Amino acid sequence: MTNEQKPVVVLTVAGFDPSGGAGVLADIKTIAAFGCYGVAAVSGITFQNTLGVSGVLSESAKTIRQQIAPLFDDFEIAAVKTGMLPTAEVVQEVASLIRQRAIPVVVVDPVIRSTSGFELVERAAIDSLVTHLFPLASLITPNRLEAELISRVPIQNRLQAERAGETILRKGARAVLITGGDTESSLDLLVDKDGSIAFNAEHVQSQNTHGTGCSFASALACLMAQGRAPKEAIPIAKDYVQRAILSAPGLGHGQGPLNHFPPGFKPDPK
């Protein structure tokens, strides 16, 4: 295999979901679906299944560095996607490592609480995320509730979403995508230096939506690592997640996992 044929390497730094629907396991499956090679560092171990989350055991800054540094030494990592970063020290360590290596694509999914309402990160971790990681981000992908918490702007319509996005943008990121998959509208709003663009999709009523945010952000990281701008990557990632929901295997007794290898999906539609 020549260098030109080697897959793009994408690192995910996120929590471990033992049910396999979210966190690093969902990320790795998504990365593989997009033809990239996934490597991972676990930021914390969650205790959960499709019915909900009952606890989190966080990694330390030291164990985060011991996981990530050898990967940077060994692989040419094209993109980093971050998910649950439970403590301020973990956020700062991840940001420091990314800054030292000048990673070209950084997608930050600011996971704050589970869909079932369990608080996954400390309040100080959110402040640290804004201070240390947002300025390194190529794209931030909060859902509506996360965007409201970070920006302190209530979001009930597009104008308010634009205002929230602009507020987050001023914290240093190059682009913000406020996702709407958790609402009755599946409208996502991209806000960057050029203004805002809405991306619509038909809302899918399904019980099998566990890990959609993780998978969506990972898909975007892969597409951007492969050279696509966010505006081009978003529709492809949305199509992938929609297909993954529609073909979900129907596992578990709660919010079931996606099918990360949906039939008919082509990562390169050209």
pLDDT tens for each residue of 33-74: 999 999 999 999 999 999 999 999 999 999 999 999 999 999
Asked if 139 and 223 touch (Cβ cutoff 8 Å), the reply is no
pLDDT digits (tens, 9 = 90+) for 129-147: 999 999 999 999 999 999 9
How confident is the model at residue 185, as a pLDDT?
60
Supply the pLDDT for residue 182: 52
Average pLDDT, stretch 10-32?
97
227-262, pLDDT tens digit by residue?
A: 999 999 999 999 999 999 999 999 999 999 999 999
Reported as a pLDDT band with limits 50, 70 and 90, residue 184 is low
The pTM of this model reads 0.94
- Contact in structure between 36 and 225 (CB atoms under 8 Å): yes
Binning pLDDT at 50, 70 and 90, where does residue 222 land?
very high
Class of domain 7-246: alpha beta
Strands 175-178 and 195-199: unpaired
pLDDT given for residue 114 in this prediction: 78
Residue 1: predicted pLDDT: 46
Partnered with residue 12 across adjacent β-strands are 40, 81
Q: Could you give the percent of the chain with pLDDT greater than 90?
A: 85
pLDDT at 202: 76
* pLDDT at res. 150: 94
108 pLDDT higher than 70:
yes
Distances from the Cα of 207 to the Cαs of 44, 78, 178, in angstroms? 26, 34, 22
Could you count the other beta carbons within 10 Å of the beta carbon of residue 62?
10
